[in-house]
């Protein structure tokens, strides 16, 4: 089966699962209204387990096929593209992994919603930078694009899993003044993962930065703490923000 016919068959099976009611729910959940973060995104209405099942069935795609999926206006096709890319990365040689990493960064504008980021960034970006210089994270964290900023922080989950916390703390500090709620949640999530492995590390970070942290970031970060300790941190008064990242 040629790459183009494989892709066509994959898309045909995927679209056959489309459900209008689920699509409407997804459109609301992923905030596709005017001015919202997912504005103009389109949904077929397919649950993630079904997307994974079809992606597993077809498995190997060329990067050209994956590029076509990432360029799709349909959210589920882009999600399928990153799922296939992640699974390909996991099984690939170091050389192919490096190629996938470059491909991912070159197509990052299409990794344009939080689920696409969260399913792919820790494996592809975090995995590629685990034993390499991490300046890429700083570039992404400084981006005006919210999804690139989210990639920067969520990628550090790969380091956290290796008990390496310094970049999670560093990128979280860089993003303290970010005004987007999805970034507050992402940073708080990563800080919570740090706490699960090293409570002292998070507590030290909070002592230095809790007053500057957006409330949502703080709430997410301390979620696993004992109730008394958590309430104590919630009594910290936050300072006004001094700059804006849209």
C-alpha to C-alpha distance for 85 and 120, rounded to whole angstroms: 8
Tell me: the pLDDT tens digits for 20-64?
Answer: 999 999 999 999 999 999 999 999 999 999 999 998 887 778 899
pLDDT the model gives residue 241:
54
pLDDT the model gives residue 246:
45
CATH number attached to the domain at 1-91? 1.25.10.90
Q: Where are the domains of the chain?
A: 1-91, 110-238
| Under 8 Å between Cβ of 154 and 120 | no
SS3 143: coil
Q: Closest Cα to residue 169, out of 146, 198, 140?
A: 198
| Under 8 Å between Cβ of 54 and 13 | yes
Backbone angles phi and psi of 10, in degrees to 5: -60, -50
pLDDT the model gives residue 73:
95
pLDDT the model gives residue 55:
86
pLDDT the model gives residue 244:
45
| pTM: predicted TM-score of the whole model, two decimal places | 0.92
User: How many alpha carbons lie under 13 Å from residue 240 in its C-beta half-sphere?
Assistant: 1
CATH number of this structure's domain 110-238, picked from the four choices 2.30.110.10, 3.40.50.2000, 1.25.10.90, 1.10.3730.10: 1.25.10.90
Are both 1-91 and 110-238 of the same fold? yes
pLDDT the model gives residue 6:
85
Helix H segments across 71-222?
A: 75-91, 94-106, 114-121, 127-129, 135-141, 146-154, 157-160, 166-174, 181-197, 199-209, 215-221
pLDDT the model gives residue 187:
98
- The tens place of each residue's pLDDT in the chain, 246 residues long, gives 444 688 999 999 999 999 999 999 999 999 999 999 999 999 999 999 999 999 888 777 889 999 999 999 999 999 999 999 999 999 999 999 999 999 999 999 999 999 999 999 999 999 999 999 999 999 999 999 999 999 999 999 999 999 999 999 999 999 999 999 999 999 999 999 999 999 999 999 999 999 999 999 999 999 999 999 999 999 987 655 544 444
């Amino acid at each position: 089966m040629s790459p183009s016919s494989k892709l066509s068959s994959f898309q045909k099976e995927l679209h056959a699962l489309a459900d209008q009611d689920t699509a409407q729910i997804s459109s609301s959940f992923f905030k596709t209204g005017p001015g919202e973060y997912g504005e103009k995104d389109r949904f077929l209405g397919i649950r993630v387990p079904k997307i994974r099942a079809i992606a597993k069935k077809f498995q190997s795609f060329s990067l050209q096929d994956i590029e076509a999926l990432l360029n799709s206006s349909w959210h589920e096709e882009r999600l399928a593209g990153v799922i296939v890319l992640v699974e390909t990365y996991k099984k690939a040689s170091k050389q192919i992994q490096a190629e996938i990493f470059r491909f991912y960064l070159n197509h990052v504008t299409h990794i344009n919603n939080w689920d696409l980021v969260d399913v792919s960034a820790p494996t592809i970006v975090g995995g590629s930078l685990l034993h390499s210089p991490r300046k890429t994270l700083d570039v992404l964290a400084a981006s005006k694009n919210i999804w690139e900023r989210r990639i920067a922080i969520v990628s550090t989950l790969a380091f956290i899993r290796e008990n390496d916390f310094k970049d999670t703390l560093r990128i979280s500090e860089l993003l303290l003044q970010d005004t987007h709620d999805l970034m507050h949640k992402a940073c708080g999530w990563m800080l919570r993962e740090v706490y699960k492995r090293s409570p002292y590390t998070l507590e030290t970070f909070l002592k230095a930065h809790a007053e500057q942290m957006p409330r949502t970031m703080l709430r997410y970060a301390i979620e696993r703490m004992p109730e008394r300790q958590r309430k104590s941190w919630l009594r910290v008064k936050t300072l006004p923000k001094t700059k804006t990242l849209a």
